[in-house]
């Protein structure tokens, strides 16, 4: 069939795939007649990817292998029309994963020939070397494959996301060949480190603490650091990361000047110039908008810490590396007790997520008692979600499900009672992980799942009596953000703001997030940046 595709149609299908709406992407592709196209390599390449993604979710091993072989066939047809090596090497690898080792070797050998053919379209040095390494691996020429992969990394040493794509593919190939994967660890990108710690360190006598912290930072193998920049431990860790050549990404609970006045120079003015120097040297500074009231600073500090943890976990996941946490506490055993302050709460979240953690114990005076947002302040953090049913049949179907109320009310106690109005349901929980579990269960109750879309946001709210229907309600801009965002979510997808997505990753690194774009409300404050939207997926 002649190709009648357009770049717009293909981009729409790719966007749906990135959002995790695989079934809807396939529907769009098929409804446009693109599944019948046989003479357009771009369409065939996308068709191959669709078939591969559909094969991944097959429960039956036989059906899954058949899906991979169908994908390989489609990629191979694209390779016949286009001399680019991308569809050809995909056809080779998917043939192996689908169980056809002989065809895989044939296509891998053809890939090597095509790489050496001057008629092959040029590509980046990294991709050429990585493709060569993949073809050699499929041919079980392991030593040559390792050398070629090393050459690829040397050609683009900081192209960590490209390295990660190759690492994931190599892990699949080695598993299919029943070969050891340990050597891949030797070429993984460096560690992504979240850091936090107590402020009670005297800058005039910090030399010993700085040496111990620098030793601990060096032992982590960190290439990336994520955290705040309060006086004391934060600043000493950040300085050590910069000295070691790591990227440094600062996450503050408010504008830098306000944070400097509140959490840096109040400890000792001598920390001020060091704060300024680190801010100037950092690779990025992410500052939350000014808290809505002075009493919300405690909640904002906690939110910034959770976002920094999630950013570290997300970066490690993106580059196929490891995330770790480094804490500087007065008592190394504090991580095993009920948390009493922000650093210990962050430690508990990270620990409960099962991720690697190191503690440096530094003696010093106890921090002055401060009211906690968990107890004293009317402000708190909340994970707020909106589910929208996209047709009357979906509304009727969900209303008929007896478990719906149990899912929303019993699975995890909500902050306030869920509310159904029109074709939407609003619900909120204290913990993003609990909110995510409830949302996924709710999606499973709505037949079909593609008839529902969900948005989620995590931010600072204030609980107040509801003067109209009784009980309590959540007020504040963050409380209504999810309701505004749902209009930007494709049917069948689950999108979250960056704060929700990162706070979720801080608790469960196995969740997969993918940036889909930005949301700007019609009534947005021009001083507040757009909300980044992430699609959420279970597992890898």
Cα–Cα distance, 138 to 120 (Å, whole number): 21
- Please give the backbone phi and psi of residue 325, each rounded to the nearest 5 degrees, phi first: -125, 135
Q: How far is CA 273 from CA 96, 228, 497, in A?
A: 58, 16, 34
Sign of CA dihedral 306, 309, 315, 317: negative
| Token code pair at residue 476 | 């504040």
Q: In the predicted model, is pLDDT for residue 297 greater than 60?
A: yes
Mean pLDDT over residues 468-487, rounded? 91
| pLDDT recorded at residue 514 | 86
Express each pLDDT in 65-110 by its tens digit: 999 999 999 999 999 998 889 999 999 999 999 999 999 999 999 9
- Give residues with Cβ within 8 angstroms of 182, minimum separation 6: none
Q: Give the model's confidence band at 539: pLDDT under 50 very low, under 70 low, under 90 confident, else very high.
A: low
Q: In the predicted model, is pLDDT for residue 1 greater than 60?
A: no
Specify the range with the lowest mean pLDDT, choosing from 24-28, 93-97, 525-529.
Answer: 525-529
Cα–Cα distance, 185 to 167 (Å, whole number): 9
Express each pLDDT in 177-235 by its tens digit: 999 999 999 999 999 999 999 887 877 767 888 899 999 999 999 999 999 999 999 99
Residue (of 321, 258, 264, 260) closest to 294 by Cα position:
258
Q: Give the model's confidence band at 527: pLDDT under 50 very low, under 70 low, under 90 confident, else very high.
A: low
SS3 call for 438: helix
Q: In the predicted model, is pLDDT for residue 138 greater than 50?
A: yes
Q: In the predicted model, is pLDDT for residue 20 greater than 70?
A: no
Q: In the predicted model, is pLDDT for residue 501 greater than 50?
A: yes
| Token code pair at residue 60 | 């039956």
* Residue matched to tokens 């302040």: 377
| pLDDT recorded at residue 429 | 96
Angle in degrees, CA 145, 146, 152, rounded to 5: 90
Residue (of 497, 215, 222, 278) closest to 382 by Cα position:
497
Express each pLDDT in 382-415 by its tens digit: 999 999 998 888 888 888 887 888 888 877 789 9
For strand 247-252 and strand 356-361, is the pairing parallel, antiparallel, or unpaired? unpaired
* Residue matched to tokens 């930072």: 217
Q: Give the model's confidence band at 299: pLDDT under 50 very low, under 70 low, under 90 confident, else very high.
A: very high
pTM: 0.87
CA 386 to chain centre: 21
């Amino acid at each position: 069939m002649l190709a009648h595709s357009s770049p717009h149609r293909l981009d729409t299908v790719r966007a749906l795939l990135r959002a995790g709406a695989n079934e809807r992407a396939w529907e769009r592709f098929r409804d446009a007649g693109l599944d019948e196209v046989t003479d357009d390599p771009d369409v065939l390449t996308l068709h191959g990817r669709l078939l591969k993604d559909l094969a991944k979710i097959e429960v039956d091993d036989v059906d899954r292998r058949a899906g991979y072989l169908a994908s390989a066939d489609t990629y191979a047809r694209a390779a016949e029309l286009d001399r680019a090596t991308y569809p050809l090497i995909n056809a080779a690898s998917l043939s192996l994963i689908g169980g056809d080792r002989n065809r895989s070797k044939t296509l891998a050998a053809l890939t090597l020939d095509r790489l050496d053919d001057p008629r092959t379209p040029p590509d980046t040095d990294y991709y050429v070397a990585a493709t060569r390494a993949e073809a050699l691996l499929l041919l079980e020429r392991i030593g040559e494959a390792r050398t070629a992969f090393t050459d690829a990394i040397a050609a683009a040493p900081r192209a960590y996301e490209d390295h990660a794509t190759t690492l994931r593919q190599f892990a699949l190939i080695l598993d299919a060949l029943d070969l050891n994967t340990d050597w891949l660890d030797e070429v993984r990108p460096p560690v992504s480190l979240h850091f936090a710690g107590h402020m009670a360190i005297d800058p005039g006598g910090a030399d010993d603490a700085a040496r111990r912290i620098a030793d601990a930072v060096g032992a982590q193998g960190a290439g990336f650091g994520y955290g705040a920049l309060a006086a004391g431990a934060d600043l000493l860790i950040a300085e050590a990361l910069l000295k070691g050549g790591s990227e440094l990404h600062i996450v503050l609970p408010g504008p830098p000047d306000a944070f400097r006045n509140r959490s840096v120079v109040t400890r000792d003015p001598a920390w001020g110039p060091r704060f300024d120097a680190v801010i100037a040297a950092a690779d990025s500074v992410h500052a939350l908008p000014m808290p809505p009231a002075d009493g919300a600073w405690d909640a904002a500090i906690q939110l910034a810490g959770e976002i920094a943890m999630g950013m570290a976990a997300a970066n490690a996941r993106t580059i196929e590396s490891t995330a770790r946490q480094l804490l500087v506490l007065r008592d190394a055993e504090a991580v095993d007790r009920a948390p009493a302050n922000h650093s210990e709460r962050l430690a508990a979240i990270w620990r409960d997520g099962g991720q690697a953690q190191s503690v440096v114990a530094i003696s010093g005076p106890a921090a002055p008692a401060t009211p906690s947002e968990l107890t004293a302040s009317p402000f708190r953090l909340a994970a707020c979600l909106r589910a929208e049913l996209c047709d009357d049949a979906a509304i009727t179907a969900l209303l008929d499900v007896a478990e719906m109320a149990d899912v929303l009310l019993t699975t995890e106690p909500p902050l306030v009672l869920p509310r159904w109005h029109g074709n939407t349901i609003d619900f909120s929980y204290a913990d993003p992980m609990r909110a995510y579990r409830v949302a996924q269960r709710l999606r499973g109750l709505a037949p079909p799942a593609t008839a529902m879309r969900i948005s989620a946001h995590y931010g600072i709210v204030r609980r107040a009596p509801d003067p109209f229907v009784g009980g309590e309600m959540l007020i504040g801009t963050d409380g209504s953000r999810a309701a505004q965002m749902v209009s930007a979510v494709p049917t069948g997808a689950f999108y979250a703001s960056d704060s929700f997505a990162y706070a979720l990753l801080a608790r469960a690194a196995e969740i997969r997030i993918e940036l889909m774009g930005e949301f700007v409300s019609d009534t947005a404050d021009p001083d507040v940046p757009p909300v980044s939207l992430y699609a959420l997926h279970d597992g890898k």
